[in-house]
Amino acid sequence: MKTTKLSMIIAVILFTVGCNKENDQLPPQEHIKNIDLSYASSIFIGPNVVDTENRKRMYKVTNENEIDTVTYTNNFDETFIPQWLPTDLHQINNDLLYLGFQGVENYILDNRNGNTTPMQSAPPISGKFFFCEQFIPTSAGLIYLGNDSKLYSIVTGESSIVEVPISTAHDGAITGFAADPKGNILYAANVDNFTEIHLQTASTSKKIDTINKVGHIVLWAGIKENELFYYKSTDDESETNVQLVDTDQQTSRNYGDNRFILSCGLSKIMTFENKVMGIGCNDIYELVNTDESEEILITSLRDFNIINNQTTEKSKDKIVIAGINTTGNPQLLKIDPVDYSSQHIMQFEGLTVYDIASNALGESIFWGTSQQNGKTAIGHLHNDGTYTFIEQNIDGIIDGIGKMN
């Protein structure tokens, strides 16, 4: 009996060791290591424009405005075709982009060298449904809200990019956030039938406010590095107000006597040298400026309807907005945030623009559809207001665009 038991124990040990050795010998999972972006000025995901194969692809636009498919290299340094189709492309900042493949694989793409980093954390929430800044640079990294309603930070080194989860008391319930340059975070979270506003610093977490779930809650950073703001909606317009949170003192107070209803939220938050601005419905909100009155200025875009929150973009020191005027004609405007003077672009092209992405130099890529034939067009908008069409005869829509230097 003892011999039998001993034999069984030895057999189990040998089986376990064998399994571990077998697991140790499993090859690493194939993933994208690099995307060839040589001579590329822009990239986009769209329908086939180079041959007859019906397949979504990622393309690069060369410096000569020619469209070419990108080449992928895997982690075995072999050229290959990824198993999943590219579906999501968002600009993170001037150097980095988020790239998603059918919700299965997600990457951070460095457009300076084409290197990709597989994401271990949740991808960012889609900008189509988000009313705060998507990626906020801080001393603690680029902070973003994942599609799992948790906060993360993208930390870049000389040769590495990693995502770091930011632990909060409301992981999985966060709906929006703002952050100051030091990495202090003001976030909104759904708690039962209320929305709570919390301030999280490196060492503390403090509840700032509890709000009824009415309308939109919008958060943004100020010009001063210790100031964060949030818009507090209520059932009664006379009680609606804006709160300023001092991240050093961890206190909040009314910011001026601002009473207005954000019926559409704010589709884009843009920070300029002396102003922080947002777009809501068809209004421009000057949220923060150097005026001591603390008055939020609201300027209406007359005879103009913005298409969606992807068609408003900060382009260097200007605001670019695409929309439709009251006669049904598409328009593309470049607005100076200093005096609100506007430059009308592509007035007679009949192109309804649906997405714009810009780099730090004020150069942009855009796509839209023609009112004449329904075809999709893609082009470059230059800093001086001129534009160049790259292709005007595409069947199908574009799924994502990115502008490089």
Q: Which residues lie below 8 Å from residue 112, measured CB to CB, with a gap of 6+?
A: 95
Could you give the C-alpha distances from 186 to 110, 245, 341, in angstroms and in order? 28, 8, 33
- The CA distance from 307 to 327, in Å, is 14
Phi, psi values for residue 228, rounded to 5° = -125, 155
Q: Which residues lie below 8 Å from residue 373, measured CB to CB, with a gap of 6+?
A: none
Closest CA to 357 of 323, 313, 405: 313
Q: Which residue has the tokens 């292709």?
A: 391
Phi, psi values for residue 280, rounded to 5° = -130, 125
- Neighbour-count burial for 236-267, b at 16+ CB within 10 Å, e otherwise: eeeebbbbbbebeeeebeebeebebebebbbb
Phi, psi values for residue 128, rounded to 5° = -70, -20
Per-residue confidence in pLDDT tens, the chain, 405 aa: 444 454 544 454 444 445 554 455 667 889 999 999 999 999 999 998 776 677 889 999 999 999 999 999 999 999 999 999 999 999 999 999 999 999 999 999 999 999 999 999 999 987 665 566 789 999 999 999 999 999 999 999 888 899 999 999 999 999 999 999 999 999 999 999 899 999 999 889 999 999 988 778 899 999 999 999 999 877 666 666 899 999 999 999 999 888 888 877 887 899 998 999 998 888 999 999 988 889 999 999 887 888 776 788 999 999 999 989 888 889 899 999 999 999 988 877 899 999 999 999 999 999 999 999 999 999 999 999 999 999 999 999 999 999 987
- The CA distance from 390 to 386, in Å, is 13
The pTM score is 0.88
**4 membership: H or E segment, kind and range:** helix 2-24
Output the six-digit token pair for 326: 């009251």
Output the six-digit token pair for 131: 């009313």
Superfamily of domain 132-265: Prolyl oligopeptidase, N-terminal domain (2.130.10.120)
Q: Within the chain, how many helices (H) and strands (E) appear?
A: 1, 36
Contact 181, 225 (CB under 8 A): yes
**Res 1: pLDDT:** 47
For 204-257, the three-class secondary structure string (H helix, E strand, C coil) is: CEEEEEEEECCCCCEEEECCCCCEEEEEECCCCHHHCEEEEEECCCCEEEECCC
Output the six-digit token pair for 209: 């406010």
Contact 372, 392 (CB under 8 A): no
**Res 259: pLDDT:** 82
Closest CA to 388 of 18, 56, 7, 67: 67
Radius of gyration of the chain (CA): 25
Phi, psi values for residue 182, rounded to 5° = -85, -5
**Res 52: pLDDT:** 67
Contact 337, 318 (CB under 8 A): yes
Give strand pairing partners of 335.
Answer: 319, 342
Helix, coil or strand: residue 17: helix
- The CA distance from 107 to 86, in Å, is 11
- The CA distance from 142 to 20, in Å, is 38
- The CA distance from 241 to 220, in Å, is 14
* Domain boundaries along the sequence of the chain: 132-265
Could you tell me where the beta strands, DSSP code E, fall in 36-127?
40-46, 57-62, 67-69, 72-74, 79-80, 88-91, 96-101, 105-110, 116-118
**Res 66: pLDDT:** 93
**Res 236: pLDDT:** 67
Closest CA to 56 of 44, 67, 65: 44
